[in-house]
A and B are shown apart, each in its own frame.
Chain A
Amino acid sequence: MIDEMEPAPKGTDYDLYFGPAHPGSGNFGVKLKVAGEIVVSARADPGYLHRGFEKLMEYRTPIQNAVLSDRLCVLEPLNWNLVHAEAVDELMDIDVPERAKYIRVIMAELSRIQSHIIWYGVFSLGTGFDTGFKMAFGYRDYILDLFELITGGRVYPAGYICPGGVRRDFPNGARDKILKVLDKMGEMIKLEELENPALGARAKGVGILKVKDAIRLGATGPVLRGSGMKTDVRKDELYEIYDRLDFEVPVRKEGDAYARYWIGIEEMKQSIKIIKQALKELPEGEVIDPSWKKPKLSVKIPKGEVYVRNEVARGEAAVYMVGDGGSKPYRCKIRGPDFLHMIPVLEYLLKGAQIADVPAIYWSLNICPADMDR
């Protein structure tokens, strides 16, 4: 019977679509050309989540845009809220009170910790370490309960950080709860640092990116720091109150998937340090500029333009806003870090890699397809 079967076809080249319905990938497709076990070339296929955000913002006033800006990237909503609010503050020349600046930084750093927990969880899932995935999503719920106490929503805070300050003050007892949650996070980081040898063997030496290539392809954030360049927008442009806080910026030289994963864990430790310092120095006072206390339905945006840069968990985010005297912004361009990481950097790294290494490289770049398509 075996002798009657036809021989296998010659040639080992075929096309493979690593797409959104695959259980190991996000909402994003990559077309791979494979020869044997080695990927010859890759081409990205985005557009599954394109809503046309920039033009939706032209039909809405700044208060309505503050609620819409949570949904730019679902995995870190408060950081994007902060970028948009800073752009409107600078364009309309609003003074933000001191207590509001401290609260903004505390909420943004909590959101950064929550985003890195998700990164740790899905990276372990991609390399076959399932316990890390379940543990990460178990610990993430402490922070979501804290968000619900302070802002009212588990995932989307409904425009908590708005132009002029923040929407409402901390309730009673919030400060002690935040300190308890930070102790739990410290416990989780101690567990994460115990190195699993299988994870190390699958992630070291895979997907190497050198510094010159990283700058040429436009990488920012942990991807650039994993290749050896020491730069962070929080230290280059001292926005909000980052000039009074003391923290470090972790850097590695190797540029492989393991270096980027290690940087994620170190950044969580630095965020805990920042929140403790900010809570100690929190001053009393108002939380919003008095003229913005009652939400205004129609405001007049003066003529001018601004460009605001911030550091979100994935890299450098920026908003370019143009005003022309009406009540709605004339043009609002959003620059996200994932637009560069998922198209040029991924196509460059997947060339020459083995098929079994594709999930480790893909998830080590910390992708968020909603941020790329907007």
Chain B
Amino acid sequence: MVKRSKKAKTMRKLIKAIWIFSWFNSCGFCELVPLVGSRWDMERFGMIIVGTPRHADVLFIAGYQTLKSIKRAKIIYEQMAEPKVVIALGSCTMTGGMYWDSYNTIKRLEDYLPVTMYVPGCPPRPEAVFEACEKIFGHVKELK
């Protein structure tokens, strides 16, 4: 029998569905909104998009961030309730991507927010996003 803490036990019972707050920048709009449509239906896994960060568990940062928009993303992260997870989509959030020599975009997201998972691609396919979400369920199950 594996010994788990009380927090991990409650999380294993409760984690059935994750609610997403979408902070779609332009590249994310093209590849995350089709997830809501009828071909790649994400409601069958229990994931829905909510309108306020106070209800959400996961923050998707999809697309490059500029110096103006990363300040707003930090305020949104502070308004979310624990436990919370940040997923970075796309290669522009990991290394700067195609705009590596631009004066106004940020190059490393980990300097501003604590990132749990990176999903590479330009833009990543919807199947990759589902695989990332499945790994979050596994990540919570391993919590001690």
Contact, CB under 8 Å: A369 / B105: no
Chain A contacts with B in 116-139, Cβ cutoff 8 A = 134-135, 137-138
Contact, CB under 8 Å: A140 / B25: no
Q: Who on chain B is nearest to A26 by CB?
A: B29
Segment of B1-9, B30-38, B81-89, B133-141 engaged in the interface with chain A: B30-38
**Which residues of B have CB within 8 Å of A27?**
24-26, 69
Contact, CB under 8 Å: A137 / B33: yes
A8 at the interface (CB under 8 A from B): no
- B104 → chain A closest CB, angstroms: 5
Contact, CB under 8 Å: A140 / B34: yes
Contact, CB under 8 Å: A155 / B123: yes
**Which residues of A have CB within 8 Å of B131?**
none
**Which residues of A have CB within 8 Å of B33?**
137
Whole-angstrom CA separation of A369 from B49 in the bound complex: 22
| With contact pairs A138-B38, A141-B37 given, residues A51 and B30 touching in the complex (Cβ less than 8 Å) | no
B60 at the interface (CB under 8 A from A): no
Contact, CB under 8 Å: B104 / A51: yes
Interface size for A (C-beta < 8 A) is: 29
**Which residues of B have CB within 8 Å of A258?**
none
Contact, CB under 8 Å: B39 / A51: no
**Which residues of A have CB within 8 Å of B95?**
none
**Which residues of B have CB within 8 Å of A49?**
25-26, 66, 69
Picked from A56, A140, A154, A370, the residue with its CB within 8 Å of the CB of B26 is A370
Interface size for B (C-beta < 8 A) is: 33
- A114 → chain B closest CB, angstroms: 10
**Which residues of A have CB within 8 Å of B49?**
23
Chain B contacts with A in 27-59, Cβ cutoff 8 A = 27, 29-31, 33-34, 36-39, 49, 51, 53
Picked from A50, A59, A71, the residue with its CB within 8 Å of the CB of B104 is A50
Contact, CB under 8 Å: A68 / B98: yes
Whole-angstrom CA separation of A368 from B27 in the bound complex: 11
A48 at the interface (CB under 8 A from B): yes
**Which residues of B have CB within 8 Å of A155?**
30-31, 123
A20 at the interface (CB under 8 A from B): yes
Picked from B53, B72, B102, B122, the residue with its CB within 8 Å of the CB of A20 is B72
Where the two chains meet, the residues of B that have a C-beta atom closer than 8 Å to any C-beta of A are: 23-27, 29-31, 33-34, 36-39, 49, 51, 53, 64, 66, 68-69, 72, 76, 98-99, 101-105, 122-123, 125
13 A–B contacts from the bound complex (CB under 8 Å): A19-B72, A21-B72, A47-B66, A48-B69, A51-B66, A51-B105, A134-B36, A135-B38, A138-B37, A138-B38, A140-B37, A141-B34, A155-B31
Q: List 4 A-B pairs, minimum CB-CB distance, nearest first.
A: A137-B37, A23-B51, A138-B38, A370-B26
